[in-house]
Amino acid sequence: MLVALFATYTALGCLLYRPAFHGGFLSDDALYLFDNPYVQRFSGSDIGAILDPWGVPAKNVAQYVPVDLLLHGLEWQLFGANPLGYHVVNVVGHALVTTLLVALLRAAGLSFGAALVGGTFFLVHPANVEAVAWMSQLKSIAALALALCALLLAPRHPWAATGAFVLGVLSKASALLVLPVVAVRKWIGSAAPQTRWVALWTLLVAAYTLPQLAVAKRSGLALGESAALPLGERLRETASLIGRYFVIAATSIGVSVQHEPPVPTSWLDSWVITGILVAGALTARTLGAFGARREEAAWWTFAAAGFLPVSQVLPMVFPMADRYLYFILPGAIGALLLAVSQAKPGFWERWGRGGTFLPGVLAAVGLTLLALRAHERAAVFSSSEAYVADAAAHYPDGTQALLLRAARSAEAGERAATLDAVDALGRRGYNSVLPLENDSRFDFVRDDPRFQSVVQAGARFWTERIRNLPNPTPNELLTLGRAYLVQQEPGAAIAALHQALADPGPYRTAILAELHEAEAAEIRARPPGEEKGQNDLPPPH
């Protein structure tokens, strides 16, 4: 039965995601795939570096996710730069996750009809498009598949469950949600491994957190605007996030790439009020399930553990993204299905016998509408232009919209409009200077103080970030050299790049090219008549 269901879900997934199948590499795809030499070369030394918790690959992606990088390495050997293979793998993986979710819902005591509705809702939900259509999000798919395997195997096959749990966590840290779910199942007397296995998993998690926290701290991604907010204001932001995620999960309204919601400034903000009401209702329901020791409590724990990493308890720069619902939805789906079963005993059994015609029709219509919406959303990942346009449409004052506005104004030769958009980027704290510095469309405003202010501020951001890091990686030193060049400090750039050459790894060619540019900039900056220095490099080959 499950094999047939998996095949059906795979076929349906291919239909839903077909608009994205020939979409190229976007955003983080470069970091994980297209510009990742460790994944592309995939030699024995590269694999060893990927497995090293303190190695350069982990530092470069700001996460210790060796299973994910190894999977990407295998993909690159099979597909190279052809995006089709990566998209198909993600769709097949998503179908597998959905099938495992159906199996877990059945193991929780739900009828096949109820489990099928829950699984199909997860398969077609438009919020999951980002996790499936974005090639580098294989880590989310692999982590959730392995997490569900661990939960299914835990009661009878604890050794196999332990292996699945470890591999899931090493795909993405979100798989850690398995531990609290298993602990709750143990407490309520549901199907769970023996206490010694829960203790072992806890020790494994403690060991994993050492390298994971180190690379996360190094990246600075845990230090967003919220980090400086007082506790009360952070709680207000958490409430608004609950409200936003709830609306997306329940209706798909609000799905977008590159979410940039404003931090709420009042407790009367509609998103804050929505979040407080939702949090209150779900907390009351969860406490009731805990008090009665019902299986439902484990599923609410699943959803809460999926939300915790983005709750701003530990502040993040980008706590809002469609893909984060990939780890929240399964728990919420299971909890709601069990809540209906508890409130209306026999409801799902009558459903399976066709005794609930109207709800069945409504469910079919709802799932069809969600599937059509997911198909539409898949087209967002068909090109970088569609991706940027989607972000700009949902957040017209966001970073992507401002970049698009600046580029279009520059193409039209509109100096004032171009500089206004660049100014707005600076006010938003935009610090990715290379898209501005290397884009020839901005040549006619490059010397303007307003343009230079934004570019220089971004360069200073990366200079301060990297030069204070312990043992910077070659890639980080390459970025530092580029930042110094933007600040017209070729001597400092040369020093950073020479340091990178001490152990360049697979970045040697890029470092040499940048070093040649820095040498040339230094020569141009010398007073007339000064002789060429001995450290000047010939053009790289």
- Give me the pLDDT at residue 530, please: 58
Indicate the CATH number of 395-525 among 3.30.70, 1.25.40, 1.20.1740, 1.10.3470: 1.25.40
In this structure, which amino acid lies at residue 25? F
- Give me the pLDDT at residue 418, please: 92
Q: Give the other-Cβ count within 10 Å of 194's Cβ.
A: 12
Cα distance between residue 166 and residue 178, in whole Å: 10
**In contact, 485 and 492? CB cutoff 8 Å:** no
Report how far apart, in Å, the C-alpha atoms of 482 and of each of 221, 229, 541 are.
21, 32, 20
pLDDT digits (tens, 9 = 90+) for 216-273: 776 654 444 445 567 788 899 999 999 999 999 999 999 999 999 988 999 999 999 9
pLDDT digits (tens, 9 = 90+) for 10-61: 999 999 999 999 988 888 888 888 888 899 999 999 999 999 988 888 888 8
- Give me the pLDDT at residue 348, please: 64
In this structure, which amino acid lies at residue 375? H
The closest alpha carbon to 118, from 358, 354, 333, belongs to 333
- Give me the pLDDT at residue 222, please: 43
In this prediction, residues 377-385 reach a mean pLDDT of 93
Domain boundaries, the chain: 2-382, 395-525
Report how far apart, in Å, the C-alpha atoms of 192 and of each of 150, 180, 341, 383 are.
10, 11, 21, 45
pLDDT digits (tens, 9 = 90+) for 433-473: 777 877 889 889 888 999 988 888 888 888 988 888 888 88
**In contact, 275 and 246? CB cutoff 8 Å:** yes
* Residue 36: strand, helix, or coil: coil
**Residue in this structure with the two tokens 């699984």, named with its chain if needed:** 119
